[in-house]
Structure formats: C-alpha cells, structure tokens
C-alpha cells in the first residue's frame, strides 16, 4: 500500500522521504485521485448588468413593470410637462415628459385611474419616470 501524505498542524503537506519506494502504477493512481478531487470548473456566470459601452440599446430596455397599483393623487404646476402621480404603496412618480402629447395622455390616464380607483399597471424606466400606463 502506498504511503499517503500526512499534514502537519499548519495544513502544509509533508512529503514522503526521498528514498521511499513507490509501487508499480503509483503515479497513475495518484494522478487519477488528484483529478477526482479537483473541483470541476463551473460555467461562466452571466454578468448581472450588461456592458452599456458595448450594448447601448440595453439602457433603453431596462424598464420595470409595476402591476395592480392604485393612483391616490395627482399633482402638477403651471409648467409644461410637469405632472406627478401618487401611487399607493410606492410614492410620487413623475410622468414621462418626452413630448407634450405623451405628457397630456399619461396625465389623462392617471386622472381616470384616480377617479375610478381601478387597477393601474405602469412601466418605470431608469430615469424614475412612468413611460407607459394602463388603466383597467
């Protein structure tokens, strides 16, 4: 039976004496046992966030949908494209101000959601604004 390596208290391998004879086929069994105990390489994990320098379109595709919410209040000022909604359980969210017509349409939908107190689903982008709104 081949001599096994022993470990000192510091967990450093202590080598066999230089004059020790090894049985025939010892190198093959030692290599096989080393290969069996070696951890298998894991599959490469996908990054949590895409590389925006390589994929600039990934920035635009980062919308988050919130569903089954209610509009509790609306707020606006005498400025163009400045409408806010209070979403129950979430807080104040600004409606998208990309164009005048989109700001007006989202404000009208939010007002309808507040009036009827029905389910509202919306898409919030990385800028914190609501860009899509569905009132059921």
What proportion of the chain, given as a percentage, has pLDDT over 70?
54
Mean pLDDT of the chain: 76
Domains of the chain: 62-135 (2.40.50.50)
pLDDT at 7: 54
pLDDT at 35 over 90: no
7-30 pLDDT tens trace: 555 555 455 555 555 556 555 556
**Full 3-state SS string of the chain:** CCCCCEECCCCCEECCCCCCCCCCCHHHHHHHHHHHHCCCCCCCCCCCCCCCCCCCHHHHCCCEEEEEECEEEEEECCCCCCEEEEECCCEEEEECCCCHHHHHHHHHHHHHHHHHCCCEEEEECCCCEEEEEEEC
pLDDT at 95 over 70: yes
Provide the pLDDT confidence category of residue 78 given band limits of 50, 70 and 90: confident
């Amino acid at each position: 039976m081949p001599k096994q390596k022993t470990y000192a208290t510091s967990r450093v391998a202590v080598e066999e004496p230089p004059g020790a004879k090894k049985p025939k086929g010892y190198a093959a069994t030692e290599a096989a046992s080393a290969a069996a105990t070696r951890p298998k390489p894991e599959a490469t994990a996908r990054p949590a966030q895409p590389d925006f320098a390589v994929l600039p379109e990934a920035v635009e595709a980062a919308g988050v949908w919130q569903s089954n919410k209610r509009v509790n209040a609306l707020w606006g000022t005498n400025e163009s494209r400045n409408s806010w909604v209070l979403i129950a359980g979430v807080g104040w969210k600004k409606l998208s101000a990309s164009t005048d017509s989109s700001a007006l349409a989202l404000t009208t939908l939010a007002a309808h959601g507040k009036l009827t107190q029905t389910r509202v689903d919306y898409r919030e982008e990385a800028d914190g604004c609501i860009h899509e709104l569905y009132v059921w």
